[in-house]
Structure 1
């Protein structure tokens, strides 16, 4: 029988919740591929080193109102079955401080982050299909072994408060990527919901330097554009925008203006295209789907070069739209003033990691991309940047 999270503990040791299914949550997405295209897409996914730059490969309760109690256990369940089906070699797992997230408690607490990081790794240690990656060599080994590598990250550096040495501690505990701010501003810089008046702070400049020195990949997805650009100027290493889209295609604060996108490319970094519900919509495809997400991919690839683009779908193994709806009052206002668009139950073609990279690869094949370009955006671009960032 396949291992499930925390099943190494006897029944009754920890609270148990009825969790959402990891697989077969929604009907399969029909890309309309010819048999030849389908075969080519399957072969490319099988042969390529595939990296998701941003996802949340954890399972949540079916009843979203139970999520606060579930999170407070400090034991988010890794979606082992969903990962096995994903076709992904490595996934950047942005824990987002699961213990405190969407609980009503103070978010981004240092002790909660440490708890999350430890609990997830002890669970993963009890099975062999998923491994923790701390280096490019670990990711390449996972590819050879046929396992899935998890790279741990945080969506914001808020928990370090004003202590630079905490970045070293996080790296020592296995963290390999960290955001500057999560939508709301912090001691490092401005969040995207606070407008562009606040940029990278003096402490933020010091933190960026330490991140470079330690070997932490830097993410500016939830920073405002000014902070993102100033982070790129301060960094001596490539910078990531792990999950984003182009504001030129859909005018909401969560998406990025062209100068912020260009700044990433100028560092040698990579922009991961997001698919979080009701974000990467386009005026061409207003019902959020694979097609609207790929509009953002093509726009950004044309703007900054395909060598600087990848995918960070930002999926969850739960009713993602329902979660956003249930906890809207606790989430940031990153979607304020969004234009009118159809609400969807889920992002068709990109509902979870189980299907996302299968469908992305098929779409790229159907739209005439070369094998080399497909391999680059599936993971090659990310690996090239990581070789410059990580020790």
Structure 2
């Protein structure tokens, strides 16, 4: 396998265009070293060597991230997003050790034509522009199959999988799923926090479950080979989707409500039902989500509390990681788009200590070194680490993708 740092030739997003003429230029956040390096692992030299070896040699898959780079000045965020040209963080990815990343670039912040987000034409525009940029470089591979991930692993490159956090933009048009699949989308959520035509989101007062149209959409996603995500769906909708799907489903980025009592976390019932049907939960790390009583200040340690809880609940073979990070000020993004992302409703009345960033899992460039280092420090075997950082996800993809 080639070294990703050697395979990356220095391309930056939209190099083929002229900044200031073809698009508005912004000063972007650092992809490396935006915040101080995490110092909480305490690895010995042997443990550090083992961590680097595992990161370099194993198939490492992020079930959920946002690999775009955001403006250094988050006051410019809406202007940046409105032009529909978000830059991929190629430099950061080259330093990440990630083999494949499910990039959820289009969600409630996809506000090109409307501040409400989720518009079909906006999503297609965003997808198309991102794909045009990917086509002008050769380090990140647009991944649509297991073979693409295996190729990235063999060539020391990064497989980029387009994903959507919800199916809201298909409205009542099930054939739009075919169009999105044709654009390269290989993973899709059912609902974000708000209810849509498929089912209920996790912020709603009541959850009517998966709708009849939602059942049609699940059936079509199964036929197409789109992996289904229920991270932002309501409790009843989650279980309905798991039972309606003929294929295993993902909880790509969440934690356990048994450890932290917010709607953003999943109930034991949902996690167990997902696992019973062969699915996987990816442990979340976006700011102020996977907190724990033992570690109420969000950091790698609180994230791994959720990992251990889920391993104890359903077994190691059903747990992975979907850190949900980005390149830039994630807390600032939440503040700017709190209404679009329904953050307050998702947290409910649970109080938490606000942090500036999640120490140890701040962005895609650093997250998996620290995750693997934690697993090494806590005496997980190479086989166990291999499973949770990529093997479990590959098992499901081989079943779900056509």
Query: TM over 0.5: same fold?
Result: yes
Q: 1:244 to 1:101 in 2, by over 3 A?
A: farther
> Do structure 1's residue 336 and structure 2's residue 333 form an aligned pair?
no
> 1:243 aligns to what SS in structure 2?
strand
- Offset at residue 330 of structure 1 (A): 3.2
Q: What does residue 24 of structure 1 align with?
A: 33
* 2:383 alignment partner, one of 372, 378, 388: 372
Cα drift, residue 386 of structure 1 = 0.2
Task: Evaluate the alpha carbon distance shift between residue 49 and residue 223 of structure 1 in structure 2; reply closer, same or farther with a 3 A threshold.
Answer: same
Q: Which string of whole-angstrom CA distances, capped at 9 and with x for unpartnered residues, describes residues 302-348 of structure 1?
A: 11111010000000111111221233233303443343332211100
1:139 alignment partner in structure 2: 149
Gaps of 5+ in 1: none
Q: Does 1:47 align with 2:42?
A: no
TM-score (norm 1): 0.97
Query: Bigger shift: 47-56 or 263-272?
Result: 263-272
Conservation of the 8 A alpha-carbon contact between 1:153 and 1:175: yes
Counterpart contact for 2:112–2:122, Cα < 8 Å: no
**Alpha-carbon shift at residue 103 of structure 1 (Å):** 8.1
CA 1:99–1:275: 2 relative to 1, 3 Å: closer
Partner of 2:30: helix, strand, or coil?
coil
Equivalent-residue separation in structure 2 for 1:321 and 1:35 (angstroms): 34
In structure 1, what is the equivalent of residue 327 of structure 2?
Answer: 317
Alignment TM-score, normalising by the size of structure 2? 0.95
Q: Aligned residue for 2:6? A: none
Q: How far did 1:124 drift?
A: 1.0
CA contact (8 A) 1:187 1:203 kept: yes
Note closer, same or farther for the CA distance 1:98–1:205 as it changes in structure 2 (3 Å cut): closer
Within 5 Å, give how 1:1-391 maps onto structure 2.
2-11=10-19, 12-30=21-39, 31-97=41-107, 100-101=110-111, 105-332=115-342, 333-391=344-402
Q: Distance in 2 between matches of 1:181 and 1:130?
A: 28
Three-state SS of the structure 2 residue aligned to 1:78 is coil
Matched residue SS, 1:58: coil
- Per the alignment, do residues 14 and 327 of structure 1 end up closer, same or farther by CA in structure 2, a change over 3 Å counting? same
RMSD over aligned Cα, in angstroms? 1.4
How many residues matched? 391
Contact 2:295–2:302 (8 Å) recurs in 1: yes
2:117/2:340 contact within 8 Å kept: no
1:254–1:334: 8 Å Cα contact kept in structure 2?
no
SS at match of 2:137: coil
Contact 2:108 2:116 in 1 (8 A): no
1:97 deviation in Å?
4.0
